[in-house]
Chain A
Amino acid sequence: MSFDWIVKIMSENWLMFIRGAGITLYISIIGTILGFIIGLLVGVIRTIPIPERGVKKVILKIINFILSVYIEIFRGTPMIVQAMVIYYGAALAFDIDMNRLSAALFIVSINTGAYMSEIVRGGIVSIDKGQFEAAHAIGMNHIQTMVNVILPQVIRNILPATGNEFVINIKDTSVLNVISVTELYFQTKSVAGNNFRYFESFFITCIIYFIMTFTVTRILRSIERKIDGPDNYVMYANQMQVDRPENMMNRTTNDI
């Protein structure tokens, strides 16, 4: 009986599951936060207005080019392949034997950073031009404008998209088993390899993944409400995988 097996596997291997889930959460939390910071930096740099002439123009153009290469490459290749190339490539090219966990954090961070850069850029572009002009008119430069006026609004607006990235990271860390990071999927593979009950083992893992993503979604939603205070900003929506119609209803009624 499958159910008996599930109970048996759970009671015998619970520590491995918990450890795996812990590593998975750790990688995805750190990866999302670092990726978020990378995204903010890249987004701010890519929206610096380019002057019409001078050295500054050339430097900005070069930096922008490098940043778009970074974004295109990391968005355009699968993370599982990046993991292999970076982990084994580092060993081959520079003779660096990377710690598996730090390699995992590095890969997830820069991968998330590439996506977040575009999300942040979208958030910045969606802010009314008048906000920039008003900030410039009282003498703020680009950085001051961003820090004091634009980014606080952007961060609020991109929270749903950031939540998405977080959920995606929780699930996608499973591909890191190819470089033997002992996250949840890797642990499950070991468990299943011992008892040969693949369905039951992975069914447990399935539930654990769902509990993690669902909890994270709920937490993020309550953070959003907290930031909003008594009433709401207009939302910047992007691939609203985690949003439900009744939430959207609430928002429109609270608006204005």
Chain B
Amino acid sequence: MEHVIDIQHLSKSFGAHEVLKDIDFSVDKGEVVCIIGSSGSGKSTLLRCVNLLENPSGGRIIYKGVNILDDNHDVYAYRTKLGMVFQQFNLFNNHNVLDNCIVGQTKVLKHSREDAKKVAMKYLKVVGMEQYINAKPKQLSGGQKQRVAIARALSMEPDVMLFDEPTSALDPEMVEEVLKVMKQLAEIGLTMLIVTHEMEFAKDVADRVVFMDGGVIVEEGCPEQIFNNPTQERTREFLKRILK
């Protein structure tokens, strides 16, 4: 299997506080990886390090055979290859739904507006938001915002989609609509790296589940193994707390 992203010995400290310790981890093409773990375990930081929203303190991130942490590497071009979906949606407030999905394509990828619009409409249809193209973000519900955010990330046609707790800021009844879209994306073979608290979703959709605690990867494996036969004591404790 081809590694899309290969992380080696990654570490991250905020001052004296070490959030990530020597992480080794990779994502294969077409794979859906869910990262689970309690708050403060470093899973969001790991995700944010992958697209360099946080600068790792050490280690290597290999993408297409190149270490993107090298000084002369073009960070901006690399980021266009990773779609990011945030917990707080972070739609551009000054743009309507359509322009949210277009602005990156025209300004960063330098596509023409017509092409960009076609691509944007295609993905807005995927997430079921094509009727709302003229709405401003503040006129949408949380679930709608998150679906537009997913369409915005997809519109850049990235190699990997990163989801940072995409349903944690949503009302319970809106969680489903977002998870449904994500499930759909997993089915069409998109490579996804998902930080989540939705254990049922992870069980259902993930090819591989990674359990993090205290800044290290404690255990990883297929969902059946992690959820039914965890080998580590810490994983067992966490799942007992979460699943009851």
Residue numbers of A with Cβ under 8 A of B are 52, 54, 128, 130-131, 133-141, 144, 148-149, 152-153, 156, 231, 233, 256
15 more CB-based (< 8 A) A-B contacts, given A137-B84, A153-B94: A130-B88, A134-B86, A134-B92, A137-B51, A137-B53, A137-B83, A137-B86, A138-B153, A140-B76, A140-B107, A148-B103, A149-B92, A149-B95, A152-B94, A231-B139
Nearest 9 pairs between A and B by C-beta? A139-B80, A130-B90, A137-B84, A134-B90, A138-B104, A152-B94, A139-B79, A139-B108, A139-B76
Contact with A along B68-104 (1 / 0, CB 8 A): 0001000011111011101011111111000000011
Q: Does B156 touch A at the CB level, under 8 Å?
A: yes
**Which one of B83, B93, B139 has the greatest number of beta carbons of chain A within 10 Å?**
B93
Docked-complex contact A138 and B79, CB < 8 angstroms = yes
Docked-complex contact B84 and A134, CB < 8 angstroms = yes
**Complex CA distance for A140 and B51, rounded to whole angstroms:** 13
Q: Please indicate the chain B residues that have their CB under 8 angstroms from the CB of A135 in the complex.
A: 92
Q: Please indicate the chain A residues that have their CB under 8 angstroms from the CB of B136 in the complex.
A: 231
Interface size on B, residues (CB 8 A): 33
**Complex CA distance for A139 and B77, rounded to whole angstroms:** 6
Interface residues of B in 103-148 (CB under 8 A from A): 103-104, 107-109, 136, 138-139
Q: Please indicate the chain A residues that have their CB under 8 angstroms from the CB of B43 in the complex.
A: none
**Complex CA distance for A148 and B94, rounded to whole angstroms:** 9
Q: Does B12 touch A at the CB level, under 8 Å?
A: no
Residue numbers of B with Cβ under 8 A of A are 51, 53, 55, 71, 76-80, 82-84, 86, 88-95, 103-104, 107-109, 136, 138-139, 149, 152-153, 156
Docked-complex contact B53 and A133, CB < 8 angstroms = yes
Nearest-neighbor residue (CB-CB) of B158 within chain A: A138
**Complex CA distance for A133 and B88, rounded to whole angstroms:** 11
Q: Please indicate the chain B residues that have their CB under 8 angstroms from the CB of A153 in the complex.
A: 93-94
**Which one of B53, B88, B104 has the greatest number of beta carbons of chain A within 10 Å?**
B104
**Minimum distance in angstroms from B88 CB to a CB of chain A:** 5
Docked-complex contact A140 and B53, CB < 8 angstroms = no
**Complex CA distance for A41 and B80, rounded to whole angstroms:** 27
**Complex CA distance for A233 and B93, rounded to whole angstroms:** 9
**Complex CA distance for A97 and B198, rounded to whole angstroms:** 74
**Complex CA distance for A156 and B94, rounded to whole angstroms:** 10
Docked-complex contact B80 and A138, CB < 8 angstroms = yes
Q: List 28 A-B contacts (CB under 8 A).
A: A52-B55, A54-B71, A131-B92, A133-B53, A133-B86, A133-B90, A134-B91, A134-B92, A137-B53, A137-B82, A137-B83, A138-B79, A138-B83, A138-B104, A138-B108, A138-B152, A139-B76, A139-B79, A140-B76, A140-B108, A148-B92, A149-B92, A149-B94, A149-B95, A153-B94, A231-B136, A231-B138, A256-B138
**Minimum distance in angstroms from B170 CB to a CB of chain A:** 15
**Complex CA distance for A138 and B95, rounded to whole angstroms:** 15
